[in-house]
Amino acid sequence: MERRNFTRMQRVVVKIGSSSLTYPTGKLNIEQIEQLVRQLADLHNRGMDVLLVTSGAVGAGMGKLGLARRPRTIPEKQAAAAVGQGILLHMYEKIFAEYGVIVGQVLLTREDFADRRRFLNARNTLQAMLGFHIIPVINENDTVAVDEIKLGDNDNLAAMVAGLVDADLVVLLSDVDGLFDGRPGDPGATLVKEIREIDDRIEALAGGVGSAVGTGGMATKIQAARIAMHSGVVTIIARASERDVIRRLVAGEPLGTVFWPSVRLVNKKRWIAYGATVCGRIYIDGGAARALRENGKSLLPSGVTGVEGDFEMGNTVSVVAPDGKEIARGIVNYSAAEVERIKGRKTGEIEKILGYKDYDEIIHRDNLALE
C-alpha cells in the first residue's frame, strides 16, 4: 500500500454532502459545520489553498420554510434552494469569520464547464480568489439548474472544480466511511482502503439505482473519482462525522478509501472529456478502436461504422467501440450528415464525396480524450 502523505500538497477541494450538514429534520447541523470549518480554516492558515464544495441549500431552505419532507417538484426544489442558499452562505461566512478567514460564494452549473469560454472564465475567477486568500464556497446553482438537482451531483462538481484549478487532493465527505466490498454494516463487509483503477468490479461495488450493494450516492462518488484520477488528482471518500477527519486525512492517516491518480490529461483534453456537452455518438470498428487506444492515432473515416445525433463541426461527440462502450470523446471536424456520407471510406475519397476536404481526420488526436 502506498504511503499517504499529503502535508506538502498545496491545493485541496473538500466536498461536504447534504446528509453531513443537516439533521433529518432538515435543520442545519451547526456543531458539525463548525468542526469542519475549523479544520478548513486551519489548513488555510497553514498556507494551503482550500476550496469548499457544499451541498445543503435545499435542506437549509426546507428548515426555514418548515417543510417536513424534501420537495418533489423541480420548482419547489428551486424555491427551497433560493431560500437555503443565503442561509448556508451566511452560516459559513459567520463561522469562518471567527477564524479570520474570508469566503466568497461561487455558483456553477454544468454549462459553466460545457462552454470553453465560461470554463476558462470560471478558472480565472477561482484562481483570483485564491490569490486574495479567499476560500471559495462553491455550489451548483440549484435555483436555475434542472437536470443538476439530484443527490450526489456535487461529487462530480467537486472533481470538475479540482481539475479546473489543478488541485492536488479532493476529499469527498459523506455519511459513509468509504467504499466497501459489500453492504456497509453487513458481517464480513470490509472497507476498500485504496484503488488504482476503476474497473467493472469497482463499479459493481458502488452499485446503482436498485442495487443490493450500492449505497446512496456512492455511484456518483466513483464517477467523481474517475474524473479526478484522470486529472492527476488524489481522491478520498471518508465520513464527515469522523473526529478531525480533514486534518487526519491530510496528515496521512489511513481513513476512508483513497483513489490514486492515473495519467494526467492536459487541460484541453480534460475539458473535452468531462466538461464539454456531448452532442452525439460516432461508432467505430475494432481496428479503429485499437488505433486510438494503443497507438494514439486520429480517427479517420475508414474506421467509422455509424453516426448518432445531429452534431455540427466543432461539437464534442462520444466515440463508441464495437462492444458498445465509450472509449473516447473528441471535437469533430465534420457534421453528423457529413460523417454519415464519408463513413467507411478512405481519406482520399472525402473530396470526391463531399465536394471539398477541409480535414483528413474526423477527429484529430490533439482533440481526442481517451477514457
- DSSP structure string for 66-126: T-SS---SHHHHHHHHHHHHHHHHHHHHHHHHTTT-EEEEEEE-HHHHHSHHHHHHHHHHH
- Residue 360's closest CA among 313, 301, 280, 286? 301
Q: Are 332 and 362 in contact (CB under 8 A)?
A: yes
209 pLDDT above the threshold of 60: no
Q: Which residues pair with 106 in a beta bridge?
A: 138
269 pLDDT above the threshold of 80: no
CATH number given to 277-370:
2.30.130.10
Q: What is the pLDDT of residue 65?
A: 86
CA distance linking residue 371 with residue 362, whole number of Å: 18
Q: Which amino acid is at 272?
A: I
214 pLDDT above the threshold of 50: no
Domain 11-265 belongs in CATH node 3.40.50.620: no
Q: How far does Cα 302 stand from its chain's mean position?
A: 34
Q: What is the pLDDT of residue 341?
A: 94
161 pLDDT above the threshold of 80: yes
Q: What is the pLDDT of residue 299?
A: 94
Q: Which residues pair with 249 in a beta bridge?
A: none
**Angle, alpha carbons 200-239-243 (nearest 5°):** 150
pLDDT in tens, 76-123: 888 888 898 888 899 999 999 999 999 999 988 777 877 778 888 888
pLDDT in tens, 286-305: 999 999 988 889 999 999 99
* Better-scored residue on pLDDT, 201 or 349: 349
State the CB neighbour count (10 A cutoff) for residue 165. Answer: 17
280 pLDDT above the threshold of 60: yes
What pTM does this model have? 0.75
User: What is the domain partition of the chain in residue ranges?
Assistant: 11-265, 277-370
Cell, residue 246:
480533514
- Average pLDDT estimate for 203-219: 56
The sign of the torsion formed by the CA atoms of 296, 302, 307, 313 equals: positive
Q: Are 157 and 222 in contact (CB under 8 A)?
A: no
Summary mean pLDDT of the chain = 85
Q: What is the pLDDT of residue 147?
A: 54
For β-strands 102-108 and 169-174, DSSP reports them as: unpaired
213 pLDDT above the threshold of 80: no
Q: Are 155 and 217 in contact (CB under 8 A)?
A: yes
